[in-house]
Amino acid sequence: QVTLRESGPALMKPTQTLTLTCSFSGFSLTTSGLCVSWIRQPPGKALEWLARIDWDDGKYYSTSLKTRLTISKDTSKNQVVLTMTNMDPLDTATYYCARVISGSDYEIFDYWGQGTLVTVSS
Amino acid sequence: DIQMTQSPSSLSASVGDRVTISCRASQTINNYLNWYQQKPGSAPKLLIYAASSLQSGVPSRFSGSGSGTDFTLTISSLQPEDFATYYCQQTYSNFATFGQGTKVDVK
């Protein structure tokens, strides 16, 4: 059974650095074709993809946020960590992690965590 | 980045209606197009992948079509549990992008 769970601070102040952890079970990030992505959703708004880390340690970042994001994995702990620097109130959102399967002619986000709401306020 | 544009942004429908949602990519994405359903307070759920493949466990009233830049999600007979927001997503590039969403509510 595949599960993912996000954890991190619920409240932050502007300029702080956000660290989010995605703890997962039911799969291994050493398996070829498996990846984990981070996605966020501001209240009442659309989904925004942030970053992805692959089984082979490939890393990809949103063009608009790449200077602020770092993604890493700890395969022994089954965890993926996302850091975002210089947080702003506009970064207030629910942050999700999702398992990604990269197939020969598709790529899908098939399992998602329940999300964690991060509020940025002074 | 590849931009995804959905239409309409919202629609009102009744149980039993046939519902169609469109999604257009700013450049060709072949069939790297997925559809998700999201209900308030919940994470998105994968419905359709590779433009037209039904994810396991998803009712057959959901279907997808299209290729290249233009795609469609169809719900053949809307059920009460289908009132939700639907998102398309391209995964053609290594930088996935989502559409802005289409909210389906009760007429």
Tens digit of each residue's pLDDT (9 = 90 or more) over A9-53: 999 999 999 999 999 999 999 999 999 999 999 999 999 999 999
pLDDT of B93 higher than 90:
no
Nearest CA in chain A to B34: A108
Cα A4 to Cα A1: distance, rounded to the nearest angstrom: 10
Three-state SS annotation for A18-61: EEEEEEEECCCCCCCCEEEEEEEECCCCCCEEEEEEECCCCEEE
Contacts of B19 (CB under 8 A, 6+ apart): B11, B13, B74, B75, B78, B82, B104
Predicted confidence at residue A17, as pLDDT, reads 98
- Phi then psi for A90, rounded to 5 degrees? -70, -10
pLDDT of B26 higher than 90:
yes
Strands B4-7 and A107-112: unpaired
Most A CBs within 10 A among B1, B2, B4, B49, hence the mutation to make, goes to B49
> Per-residue pLDDT tens for B61-89?
999 999 999 999 999 999 999 999 999 99
Test A108 with B98 for CB contact under 8 angstroms: no
- The mean predicted confidence, pLDDT, of chain B is 97
Test A109 with B94 for CB contact under 8 angstroms: no
Tokens of B76: 């053949």
Cα A28 to Cα B84: distance, rounded to the nearest angstrom: 32
Predicted confidence at residue B94, as pLDDT, reads 87
The model's confidence at residue B48, banded by pLDDT at 50, 70 and 90, is very high
Quote helix, strand, coil % in chain A, to nearest 5.
Answer: 0, 55, 45
Query: 3-class SS at A89?
Result: helix
pLDDT of A58 higher than 90:
yes
**DSSP bridge partners of B33:** B90
Nearest CA in chain B to A117: B41
Test B43 with A114 for CB contact under 8 angstroms: yes
CA geometry: angle at B67 spanning B11 and B73, to 5°? 25
- Phi then psi for A98, rounded to 5 degrees? -145, 145
What percent of chain B lies above the pLDDT cut of 70? 100
Nearest CA in chain B to A58: B94
Predicted confidence at residue B56, as pLDDT, reads 96
Q: What is the mean pLDDT of residues B12-40?
A: 97
> Per-residue pLDDT tens for B3-23?
999 999 999 999 999 999 999
Predicted confidence at residue A104, as pLDDT, reads 85
Taking the CA atoms of chain B, what radius of gyration do you get in angstroms? 13
Predicted confidence at residue B100, as pLDDT, reads 98
Cα B98 to Cα A65: distance, rounded to the nearest angstrom: 16
